[in-house]
Structure 1
Amino acid sequence: MISITTLGIKALPNIISISRLLICIGFVFYGNIPATVGQSLILFVAAATDLFDGWLARKLNATSHLGAILDTWSDKAFALLLIVKLTISNNLPISLLLLITIQYLMLPIVGWIYWKRFSRFPVPNSLTKIAAFAAYMTVFVGVTFADKFITVLLGLLIVLLNFAHIATRLFAKST
């Protein structure tokens, strides 16, 4: 069996990123909408690990390209899987799910374009963090309270923030 001591303490941030994704997958299959208090608390803690894993990686001097990719994709998958759950439970229109999915699929393409222009990958900026926060708020409010109107409004906010994020990357000047 593989343990943290086998992998080394520096693997802990990546393990946290992966655990966020596993918690989300479990909720998609076994969670309720509206979520129970316990389920909401678990999702809140899982979302909070998004802040913790990056901080821990920097603190342990364990940042890596793999860790950055794991963190980014765990964040997107966490939000997207919960948005799928909201769509299946009829709390979010499928058109909004498709729009958000298309935007998330565009992000690697935009990153590649940025890399071709500047020979480096884009560093997350304030807009990136605001868009991620909006995604977490959308799924948390939608899953916890099952209020379709507020969930749709927050979902539209995700769409607007993601379009702004994509535009800032496509039209960026080297810094």
Structure 2
Amino acid sequence: MTDALTPADGARVWTLPNLLSGLRLLGVPLFLYLVLGPEADAAALAVLVVSGVTDFLDGYLARRLDQQSALGQVLDPVADRLYILAVVVGLAMRDVIPWWLAVSLPLRDALMWGLVPLLRTRGYSSLPVHFLGKAATFNLLYAFPLLLLGDGDGTVATLAQVFGWAFAFWGVGLYWWAGILYAWQVRRLLQTMPRLPASATG
């Protein structure tokens, strides 16, 4: 949902896409409870599947129903990042994935947050989401359910682990590639756009 918004679009709150994004956010603590509490992996897997479906639907419906909103442009990426953070922490604490993987993704997000003050000096709060970032999120949201499913024995678990790690490696690589590209775009913006007065950025 990166199209330009009209003032009326920006004021929208109670839209179907926003409700779906809110539903996804409610699933974050539920997933952590299921994985770390009763270790109900089947239910946790269902939460991830629902999250993936609603991730697709909120963007599709926003365009289809012409219900883009400023709130939606914030909720969608925030929900993506919170899910990724919750999943990597939960799976690392269960020893399903190594801690280097769990740390590498939030570290990239910390880099992105560190660029926000620089953007604000040029009058921006963010830049449009790049295709690489969406592709990375797509890979990661497929990888983690498969890795969770692979935390067991048997042929299905083995296949899930193989495909899960394939998606995970691609996802991590694309996630960092998108972050580096974003940082490069910020650098170009700082070189080409005049700095705003301090009163305008404060």
The reply to whether TM is greater than 0.5 is yes
Could you tell me which runs of 5 or more consecutive residues in structure 2 were left unpaired when the two chains were aligned. Answer: 1-11, 152-156, 190-202
1:73-112 equivalent positions in 2, closer than 5 A: 73-110=78-115
Aligned to 1:26: 30
How far does the alpha carbon of each residue in 1:1-31 deviate from its partner, in whole angstroms, 9 at most, with x for none?
Answer: xxxxxxx994221121121121232121024
Q: Does the 8 Å CA contact 1:110/1:166 hold for their aligned counterparts?
A: no
| Pairing partner for 2:144 from 139, 142, 156 | 139
Identify which range, 147-156 or 41-50, moves more after superposition: 147-156
Distance across 1 between alignment mates of 2:109 and 2:51 = 20
| Pairing partner for 1:11 from 3, 12, 15 | 15
How far does the alpha carbon of each residue in 1:58-81 deviate from its partner, in whole angstroms, 9 at most, with x for none?
Answer: 233321222111110101111220
- Residue 100 of structure 1 deviates from its aligned partner by 1.1
1:58 aligns with 2:63: yes
Percent same amino acid at aligned positions?
A: 22
User: Normalised by the size of structure 2, how large is the TM-score?
Assistant: 0.68
Query: Residues 42 and 95 (structure 1 numbering): CA distance in 2 closer, same or farther, change over 3 Å?
Result: closer
Find the residue that maps to 1:62 and give its secondary structure: coil
- Residue 113 of structure 1 deviates from its aligned partner by 4.1
1:163 aligns with 2:171: no
How far does the alpha carbon of each residue in 1:123-174 deviate from its partner, in whole angstroms, 9 at most, with x for none?
Answer: 2232111111111012111122226964555444333212210121122367
Identify which range, 73-82 or 142-151, moves more after superposition: 142-151
Find the residue that maps to 1:90 and give its secondary structure: coil
Larger RCO: Structure 1 or Structure 2 (Cα < 8 Å, ≥ 6 residues apart)?
Answer: 1
User: Normalised by the size of structure 1, how large is the TM-score?
Assistant: 0.78
Distance across 1 between alignment mates of 2:17 and 2:53 = 13
Aligned to 1:35: 41
Distance across 1 between alignment mates of 2:172 and 2:48 = 22
Q: Does the 8 Å CA contact 2:21/2:75 hold for their aligned counterparts?
A: yes
Find the residue that maps to 2:15 and give its secondary structure: helix
Aligned length: 166
Amino acid corresponding to residue 107 of structure 1 in structure 2: M
Amino acid corresponding to residue 16 of structure 2 in structure 1: L
| Pairing partner for 2:76 from 71, 77, 80 | 71
Could you tell me which runs of 5 or more consecutive residues in structure 1 were left unpaired when the two chains were aligned. Answer: 1-7
